[in-house]
Amino acid sequence: MIGIFDSGLGGLTALKEARLLFPKEDLVYFGDTGRVPYGTRSEETIRAYALQDLRFLTSFPIRAAVVACGTVSTTSLPALRGAFDLPIFGVVEGAAIAAAKATKNRRVAVIGTPATVRSGAFPEAIRQAYGALTGNADGVEIISRACPLFVPLVENGFIEKDDPITALTCERYLADIREFGADTLILGCTHYPIIADAISKTLPGVTLINTGREAARLVREKLPPIPEEKGEARFFVSDRTDSFASVASVFLGSKPENVTRIDIGSY
């Protein structure tokens, strides 16, 4: 069993990929929908929330955890790894490697929450990955932008490709990246792939790196062979289950059946 968590729906982007890569493994997902967004909060608050989230997931017999949240991955991984004795994967490393491989013009953009951008973790990891690939860590130019409104747009279901509000928000946030001329964009928040079509409309021809997907791939690469389980997925949230299930169904392609509300404050 693998545990996956995020501040809300975004981590489903990792779960979707994990389902494909680990078809026989049970998955347990926690979305902290009662406290989303994390990305506009302080590092201390994010860390405290993340510790509770993982404490909840470790009440299941999980063999590894995926921090399917860019904000937690860039601010709290050392604290989580220090507190729990199991393999914990974040979303930064896999995405940075994928971006270093994908860029042709050596211009990479990163978008994420304010906390993620403030951390500088993605640019650092991209330089490291690019250096490992080419021997010249400084041979890549990077631009980072925070896009805080994308998360509430996703959580509230403004996810259609042609939604005018999402399109306008994309234009406002991504115009600088178009001007910079990046050919590769890391969606450094796991919520963003859910509006990938709208982002691509604003930045045509740019390769989008889905952090959740890359994290699941890295887990596949690093974890030993998969146990034969039932391949079930259970979902837990910290607020209303109906709104989670309806947005999740658009993204996952079918309505998640097993959604339960929990009191995360008690963990």
Which residues are known catalytic residues?
Answer: 69, 189
Residue 210 contacts ligand DGL per CB under 6 A: no
Q: Closer to ligand DGL at the Cβ: 45 or 241?
A: 45
Beta bridge partners, 111, equal 145, 187
Residue 39 contacts ligand DGL per CB under 6 A: yes
Q: Which of 143, 119, 142 is nearest to 39 (CA)?
A: 119
Residue 37 contacts ligand DGL per CB under 6 A: yes
DSSP-derived secondary structure letter, 138: G
CB 95 within 8 A of CB 69: no
Residue 119 contacts ligand DGL per CB under 6 A: no
Q: Which stretch binds ligand DGL (CB under 6 A): 30-38, 77-85, 130-138, 231-239?
A: 30-38
Angle (CA) 170 247 17, round 5°: 85
Residue 71 contacts ligand DGL per CB under 6 A: yes
| Cβ partners under 8 Å of residue 261, min gap 6 | 236, 237, 238, 239, 240, 241
Q: Based on the number of CB atoms within 10 Å of its own CB, is 224 exposed (0-12), middle (13-18) or buried (19 or more)?
A: exposed
Among 140, 151, 174, 248, binds ligand DGL (CB under 6 A): 151
Q: Shortest gap between Cβ of 263 and ligand DGL (angstroms)?
A: 19
Q: Which stretch binds ligand DGL (CB under 6 A): 2-10, 121-129, 172-180, 231-239?
A: 2-10
Alpha carbon 142 to its chain centroid, in Å, reads 19
Q: Closer to ligand DGL at the Cβ: 76 or 136?
A: 76
Q: Closer to ligand DGL at the Cβ: 70 or 256?
A: 70
Residue 238 contacts ligand DGL per CB under 6 A: no
Q: Closer to ligand DGL at the Cβ: 13 or 202?
A: 13
CB 262 within 8 A of CB 241: no
Q: Which stretch binds ligand DGL (CB under 6 A): 14-22, 53-61, 134-142, 188-196?
A: 188-196
Residues 27 and 14: their CA atoms lie apart, in Å, by 11
Q: Which of 59, 52, 53 is nearest to 5 (CA)?
A: 53
Among 4, 18, 36, 109, binds ligand DGL (CB under 6 A): 36
Q: Closer to ligand DGL at the Cβ: 103 or 113?
A: 113
Helical segments of 88-184, H only: 92-102, 114-119, 121-134, 150-155, 164-180
Residues 4-23 that bind ligand DGL (CB under 6 A): 6-8, 10
Residues lying near ligand DGL in the complex (CB under 6 A):
6-8, 10, 36-39, 69-71, 113, 116, 151, 189-191
